[in-house]
Amino acid sequence: MASPLEGRRWWLAGIGGAGMSGYALLARAWGAEVRGWDRARTPYLERLQDIDVDISEDPPPAPEGWEAYVSSAFTGLVAGKSRAELLAELVSLRETLVVAGAHGKTTTAGMIAFCLARLGRDPAWLIGGDIPQLGSNAGTGEGWLVVEGDESDRTIAALRPRIAVVTNVDLDHHTTFGSRAEVEALFENWLADVPDVVRGDELPPYHGRLALSGEHNRRNAASALAALAYTGVSPEQAEPVLAEFTGAGRRLERRGEAGGVELYDDYAHHPAEIGATLQAARDGGRLLVLFQPHLYSRTRHLARELAAALAAADAVAVAEIYAAREQPVAGVSGKLIVDALAERRPGMPLAWTPALADGARFLAQHARAGDRILTVGAGDVDRAGALLLELLG
C-alpha cells in the first residue's frame, strides 16, 4: 500500500470520537505515526489498540515535534489545527467521493462503501456511524475513499473531492446558519469546484429491491447508485449488491423483542428525519416513542416542528435535551416539545420524563403485544433499550 503520510507524526485531541478515531486509523494505514488524547475511553478506541492514547480529564500537551489536530468538541481548549484541516488533507491524498446533506448521508455513504467493497473495488471509508456489514465506521482499502461530509460547522467547504453527493438541503444547525438560504449557498459554493456532482433531491426514488424500509431510503439508494456510476460501477452491477445492504447502526436498528413488543433505535433528531423514521416503522401495530431532543438551539427553534413529527406516534415520552457541544439556555427544555404536542394531540398518552429511565417506564406501562417502541435521538437515548427490554420481559 502507498504511504503518502510516511514520516508525519500526528497527535489527535478527541481521538475517541467517531470521526477522529476513523481519521487516526486511516492516517496510520497511510504511514503516519499517530498518538492521541481523550477524556474517556470509548468503543471506537478498541480499534486503535496499537495507538498510544492518553485518557485523562485534562489534555496533556502535544508531544514535541508532532502536528496537533483538535476535534471540534475541544476547540478552544487544546491548541492545534482543526478536524476539518485533518480531513481535508486525507481527502487530498486519494480519489475521493464525499457524501453531504442534511439527512441520509450516513446511510448513503454506507451504501456506496458497501457496494464498492462487495464488488472488489477495495474502498477506504470514513463514515459518521457504524456500518455493521463493513465491520467499522472506517476502512483503509486502496480504492476510492468514501467520506461522510459535515456542514454543521461548514467544514465541508474545505474538502476537494472528485465526486460529491448532496442528499438534500435543510436547516438543521441553527448556531451556524441563520437561514436555509445560507445552507444552500454553502453547498452551491462547494459544488462549484467538484467535477462530478449528484443532487439527491433531483432524483426519483429508487424502485428496485431493498432490505431497508422507508421512502427516504429509496431516495438514499438513488443517490448512491448515481454516485457509484461516476466511479465506474454500473447500475446492473450495483443493484444486486445494494439489495443486500441492511443499514447503518442506529438507523431504525432492531434491538430486540420482549413481551410481544419489538424495540427499535434510531438516530433521527430533526423533524424531517423523525417523520421519515416513524413512517418507515409503521407495521400495523401501535408506535410508542421515547424521544431525546438534541441541542438547545435546535429545540428552541424547532419545538413545534418536532412535536408535529412526533404526533404520528401513538404514545410519546420526551426526555431532557442532550446538550452535546452547547451550554444550557434558560427556558429551553424538552418540555417545550411536550407542551406543543399536548396542544396538537390532546388526549395522546404523553409524558415529560427528563430522565431516560422514567421515559422507559412510562412506555413499558402503556405497551402491549404487537406494539413497536422506538428510542429516537442523536444523544445517548439508546441506553434506555436494555431497561425497556427488562421492563417488558
| The predicted structure's pLDDT at residue 183 | 85
Q: Is residue 259 included in any domain, yes or no?
A: yes
Domain that holds residue 159: 94-242
Are 99 and 208 in the same domain?
yes
Q: Is residue 3 included in any domain, yes or no?
A: no
Are 261 and 367 in the same domain?
yes
| The predicted structure's pLDDT at residue 102 | 86
Q: Is residue 89 included in any domain, yes or no?
A: no
By mean pLDDT, which of 173-177, 256-260, 319-323 is the weakest?
173-177
Are 373 and 265 in the same domain?
yes
Q: How far is CA 379 from the centre of its chain?
A: 11
Q: Is residue 1 included in any domain, yes or no?
A: no
384: its cell numbers: 434506555
Q: Is residue 345 included in any domain, yes or no?
A: yes
Q: What is the DSSP letter of 119?
A: T
Digit-coded pLDDT (tens) for 277-333: 999 999 889 999 999 999 999 999 999 999 999 999 999 999 999 988 789 999 999
Q: Is 239 helix (H, G, I), strand (E, B) or coil?
A: helix
Are 181 and 76 in the same domain?
no
Residue 128: which pLDDT band, with cuts at 50, 70 and 90?
confident
Better-scored residue on pLDDT, 79 or 1? 79
Domain count, the chain: 3
Are 326 and 373 in the same domain?
yes
Are 76 and 122 in the same domain?
no
